[in-house]
Chains A and B, each alone.
Chain A
Amino acid sequence: MKTRIKEYRARHDMTQKELAAKVGVRRETIVFLEKGKYNPSLELAYRIAKVFDTTIEELFIFEEE
């Protein structure tokens, strides 16, 4: 799964640490999310989307294997 978190983070001028604090996870989790190595829970995906005032579909791009 690809994400546009990094892009949105840059747009909002936000660091990984700040985003992590806002959504209540560790900075490392944001790193793995941005790399597409970790699939977040629906709740976390929703919280991140809410921070950027966007939708989950806009932020996370699911690719069929």
Chain B
Amino acid sequence: MANPIRVSVIRALISISFIIWGIFWFLFGFNFFGELLGGFFMIVGAIFLGYSVRELLRYRRTGEVKRRWDERAALNQLKAARRGFEFLLLVIAVLLILYALQLISDALFVVFTGFVFGIGVAIYLGSYYWYEGRA
């Protein structure tokens, strides 16, 4: 049987990789948006790392793992994913039109795409917790 705390360990490792990636992006990002994206990933990584460490400490203390996933979570994840997808679809379509009309440069298009991706992830996470609080 799989270790019940393995999800928290995997989440902690992913969070650390997010933080490292964010630090690199922040330090070596070639412009303001690169630094912004780096900062975003560092914050997200730090939040999830804190969350995972708390879970691991609770497991050590009580031996219990709090259930994080069920059918309601799956449903809310689907709803949140739809919100994030709709945002990405709309904004990337606008970016492509601007790019096709040569209103934005290649570099700006790449930077905006990364920025939009970050916002899309934030919308997805925010929507998930919003739905979780409602039903």
A interface residues with partner B (beta carbon < 8 Å):
20-21, 24-26, 28-29, 32, 37-38, 40-41, 43-44
Contact = CB atoms under 8 A, between A and B. Distances in A.
14 contacts: A20-B67, A21-B67, A24-B67, A25-B70, A26-B66, A26-B70, A26-B72, A26-B73, A29-B71, A29-B72, A32-B72, A37-B134, A40-B71, A44-B71
Contacts of B71: 25, 29, 40-41, 43-44
Q: How large is the interface on B (under 10, 10 to 19, 20 to 34, 35 or more residues)?
A: 10 to 19
A43 B66 CA distance: 22
A21 B70 CA distance: 11
Nearest to B69: A26
B70 A24 contact: yes
Contact of A26 (B68, B134, B135): B68
Nearest to A43: B71
A38 B70 contact: no
A13 to B, nearest CB: 21
Nearest to B66: A26
Contacts of B70: 24-26, 29
